[in-house]
Amino acid sequence: MESFKLTAPVVFIIFNKIETTKKVFDVIKKVRPSQLFIIADGPRRDRAGEQADCNRVREITESIDWDCKVLRNYSDENLGLRKRIISGLDWVFQSVEEAIILEDDCLPDYSFFKFCQDLLTKYRNEERVLMISGNKILSDYQPQNSYYFSQFSHIWGWATWKRVWKQYDFNMSEWSAEKINDLFLKTLKSKSAINYWKTLLLEIQTGEIDAWSVRLQLLQFIKQGLTVVPSRNLVVNLGFDSQFATNTKGSGGLYNKMKLESLDFPLSHPKSIFQNFEADKLEIKLFHKFGFKERVRRLLLKFNIKIR
C-alpha cells in the first residue's frame, strides 16, 4: 500500500504495559498522524512498581519527531479500564468529530489507518453505521467486498464519530428487561446468544462485572446500528489470553486464529448498507455463548468458589 496522509485523529489509550505499548506506538509513529490524543490511567497504589511502569509507558509516547498536535489526558489515580476509557473518550469528542481508537495492546497493520480514515469519511453522515472495526474474528469467512456490515461491535482497534459516542449510555437508562428481551428475540434468534447477552447485561446492572464495551454493544442493539467489519483482520490483541474479557470465553480458542493481515486499496464497497446475516449467524454460533469452563466457573461462583 502506498503511503498516505493520516488526517483523522488517533486516540492511544495507555496504562502500564511497556512492551506492547512500544510495539503499538512504533506503528503509530510510522503513519505519523497529524493529531494524536493520548489517554493514560494512573497506577494502582497497592501494586509495587506500577508507578514506575506507568511513567515509562508515558515516556514512550514522548518520542514524536513529526508535525503533530499532541493532546494528553493523564490521570494521577487509577480509574480502572471502564472509567478511564469513558472519561477519556468524552474528553476526545469534546474536540473532534471522529477518531481512530487504539489501546496499548492492540497492534494494527499499517492499512488499518487508511481503512478507518476512508470509511470515517464515507459513512460520516450515515446514522445507521455506528463504528468501524479493525477486527475480523471470523477467520475462515470470506465476504465478497473489502468489508461487510455486522450488528456486533468489536473494539480491538476501531473508529467512530462524535454523533455515536454522545449516545453512549453509561447508566443504561434505556435498559429494561422486557424491552431488551423483545429486541433480542427479533435480532439474535438464538437461545444461547439471547441467554449470553441477557446474562452479561444483568451482571452489569448488578455490578458483578464492570465492562464499558458491553454498554457499547447494547447501544448497537437498541439503535439497530451496524459495524463495518474488514474482510481481513487488521488488528491483533497482544494481551489476549484465556483470562481476557468475559466475552472472549467459550470460543474454543478461535480468537487465537486472528492473525495480522493487510488490506488492499482501493476498497471494494458493498452496493448498499445492509446487515450480513450469514456472517452474523456464524458469529453467534461460534462466539456468542458461554463455553463449558465458563459455565462451570459461573456455577461455582454461586457457592463463593472462585477459579481462574
pLDDT tens column, 130-160: 999 999 999 999 999 999 999 999 999 999 9
For the chain, domain boundaries = 1-104, 108-308
At 305 the pLDDT is 61
Give pLDDT, residue 306: 58
Q: What is the model's pLDDT at position 211? A: 82
Residue 276 CA to its chain's centroid (Å): 20
| Residue 113 reports pLDDT greater than 80 | yes
Nearest to 238 by CA among 104, 122, 105, 100: 105
Instruction: Give 264-298 pLDDT, tens digit per residue.
Output: 999 999 999 999 999 999 999 988 877 656 665 66
Burial class (CB in 10 A: 0-12, 13-18, 19+), 28: buried
Strands (E), 23-146: 35-40, 69-74, 98-103, 106-108, 129-133
State how far the Cα of 115 lies from the Cα of 286, in Å rounded to an integer: 26
Q: Which of 20-34, 40-54, 210-224, 238-252 shows the lowest per-residue confidence on average (mean pLDDT)?
A: 238-252
Starting at the edge strand found earlier in the chain, the sheet holding 35-40 runs 69-74, 35-40, 10-14, 98-103, 158-161, 129-133, 226-230, 147-150
**Residue pair 214/175 in contact by the 8 Å Cβ criterion:** no
- CATH of span 1-104: 3.40.50
Q: For residue 74, is pLDDT > 90?
A: yes
Q: Write the CB contacts of 192 (distance below 8 Å, at least 6 apart in sequence).
A: 288, 289
The Cα–Cα gap between 87 and 218 comes to 19
Residue 249 reports pLDDT greater than 50 = no
Cell triple for 209: 462485572
Question: In the prediction, which pLDDT does 104 show?
Answer: 96
When pLDDT is averaged across residues 111-131 and rounded to a whole number, the result is 98
Residue 258, pLDDT above cutoff 90: no
Other Cβ atoms less than 10 A from the Cβ of 129: the count is 21
Q: What is the pTM of this model?
A: 0.90
pLDDT of residue 255: 74
- What is the reported pLDDT for 242? 36
CA pair distance 243, 184, nearest whole angstrom: 27
β strands within 112-259, DSSP E: 129-133, 147-150, 158-161, 226-230, 235-237
